[in-house]
Amino acid sequence: MAVGAWAGRVKRVGRDVLLPGLMVGLLVTGCSGGSSGSSSDAARVSAAQVTLTPGDGAAEVPAQGGVFAQVRAGRLTSVHLKDADGQEIAGAVSADGSTWSPTGKLLPETRYTLDALAVDKDGLQAAKHASFTTFVPKNTFIGFYNAVDRSTVGVGFIVQIRFNRPIADRAAVQNAISVTAKPAVPIVAHWFGNQRVDFRPEHYWAPNTQVTLGLHLKHVEGAPGVYGTQDKAIGFTVGRSQISTADTDADTLTVVRDGQTLRTLYISAGGPGHSTYDGVMVISEQDQVTRMDSHTVGLGSEYDIPAVPHAMRLTDSGTFVHGVYWRPESVFGRVNTSHGCIGMYDVPGGESGSTPAGWFFDHSMVGDVVQVTGSSGDQVSPDNGMSGWNMTWKQWTAG
């Protein structure tokens, strides 16, 4: 019989790979017609019996506890668990050499190969191979981010990510998120509870900085059995520097851009019992016209204004800079009358840029800083909007 025919027959026995030494013995026997060597010696098979879990072709394999190798009548000499890219998952053999299990973590929705090699007491080898795929997660989480791809923002912008599920392993999730800047500057994360993480540098961003947010959360286990699904990058640019100061004692808003005062506007801030928050706040959204209903901020039926013009949000709790057309222009610069917002004279519709509110709206962007001074109100909480600038760098990095 031809050598090739023998090779085809003896290459595998089931899933057990025949030893190279044994294959050579068989090939020599075929070539010599049995004139030398013992047929019983040539046919020796390892007594070691290797078993792999899961079996070849398995699917929906769990990430933990579902993969191992074991041997009877022998000891394991090598085991390799690899993904489709050849990345190996670390593992450990038991002291007696009878079992192996991974010490590294398997990813969901991933194809792996498992190869084990063992020897019996006579040194004869046995091997086993299996390929399988891991489970598709039933429970997932995503992060809702405030950065808009290819947008331009002000120097006070803070990157915020809010998760739809509580995060138990903050370190794993934080390590899967990157915020980088060009020119480079240290950027640090701070967690507010278990469903929100913010990123900012020590000081306001430098104008013209290029910032990239990377969300590499796919397959990251944020909580037991809960895996991320996102893998994307968002880039934005920091524009000019605009920092406005609202002095509630003088009833003025002074707008400073790149170190130069553009304009001072008259305002009406929070009145008695409804003082405006003190401290640094940042514009997080702009609406040409919006509805303001006091029920949404816990003030009962105090007001319901269906078309407030030139509204720019400063806090999650409902503090805005906005236009006011329902009070006479003479109020502004003299009396604080609002429920905590910073109001400027305006006309209905939100279209005119000639009014103080319209001018400020047209000359502002998301990320611009509005700092309130002189207010008798509480300092704004760092987690209320993009108000993290009210924390010292030491406080920020501690979180």
Instruction: Return the pLDDT at 397.
Output: 97
Say whether 31 is catalytic.
Answer: no
Q: Give tens-digit pLDDT for 157-203.
A: 999 999 999 999 999 999 999 999 999 999 999 999 999 999 999 99
Distance CA 227, CA 138 (A): 9
Confidence of residue 362 (pLDDT cuts 50, 70, 90): very high
pLDDT of residue 340: 86
Among 190, 219, 322, 339, the one annotated catalytic: 322
Residue 179 confidence (pLDDT): 98
pLDDT tens per residue, range 296-339 = 666 565 555 678 899 999 999 999 999 999 999 999 999 998 88
Whether residue 205 is predicted with pLDDT greater than 50 in this model: the reply is: yes
| pLDDT greater than 90 at residue 351 | no
* Residues 367 and 157 sit within 8 Å (Cβ to Cβ): yes
Catalytic choice (219, 310, 339, 341): 341
The average confidence (pLDDT) of the chain is 88
C-alpha–C-alpha distance, residues 311 and 343, integer Å? 9
Distance CA 168, CA 151 (A): 32
**What is the per-residue pLDDT for 144?**
97
Which domains are delineated in the chain?
Answer: 3-134 (2.60.40.3780), 139-239 (2.60.40.3710), 242-387 (2.40.440.10)
Residue 160: burial class (beta carbons within 10 Å; 0-12, 13-18, 19+): buried
User: Which value, in Å, is the radius of gyration of the alpha carbons in the chain?
Assistant: 34
Please give the model's pTM, rounded to 2 decimal places: 0.80
Can you read off the two tokens belonging to residue 71? 């041997």
Percent of the residues in the chain that have a pLDDT greater than 90, as a whole number: 77
